[in-house]
Amino acid sequence: AQSVTQLGSHVSVSEGALVLLRCNYSSSVPPYLFWYVQYPNQGLQLLLKYTSAATLVKGINGFEAEFKKSETSFHLTKPSAHMSDAAEYFCAVTGSGRDSSYKLIFGSGTRLLVRP
């Protein structure tokens, strides 16, 4: 069964500082991994996805994530936070095997606060 764990329900950074949001996954099959962002009172939108083509994945709005199989991690980073990055971020996993490829499972989310 697949699962994801996001460490830290809230992360606070200063504007211009590095953003690091942590995600660890568990999967019995090679996973596909995603980061989604949710702005207040909205649905989720895709930031980036890992599909095994490259371990370093670049997404929208300057975010990127690195897949590390040895650490079962897929942490999200951005070199310099902007006020508009304040939102909730979700890591998600789905499997590549027939029995698991249809379940898209989310972590509990991390709310990013950006201080002026």
Partner 1 sequence: NAGVTQTPKFQVLKTGQSMTLQCAQDMNHNSMYWYRQDPGMGLRLIYYSASEGTTDKGEVPNGYNVSRLNKREFSLRLESAAPSQTSVYFCASIPVGGGNTEAFFGQGTRLTVV
Q: Which residues bind partner 1 (CB under 8 A)?
A: 6, 9, 32, 34, 36, 41-46, 49, 51, 90, 92, 94-96, 100-109
Q: Which is nearer to partner 1, 3 or 80 (CB)?
A: 3
How far apart are CB 101 and partner 1 at their closest, in Å?
Answer: 4
How far apart are CB 26 and partner 1 at their closest, in Å?
Answer: 14
CB 53 within 8 A of CB 33: no
Joined together, the tokens standing for residue 24 give 């660890």
Q: Which is nearer to partner 1, 32 or 74 (CB)?
A: 32
Joined together, the tokens standing for residue 88 give 């909730």
Using CB atoms within 10 A of its CB, is residue 2 exposed (0-12), middle (13-18) or buried (19+)?
Answer: buried
Q: Which is nearer to partner 1, 57 or 81 (CB)?
A: 57
CB 38 within 8 A of CB 32: no
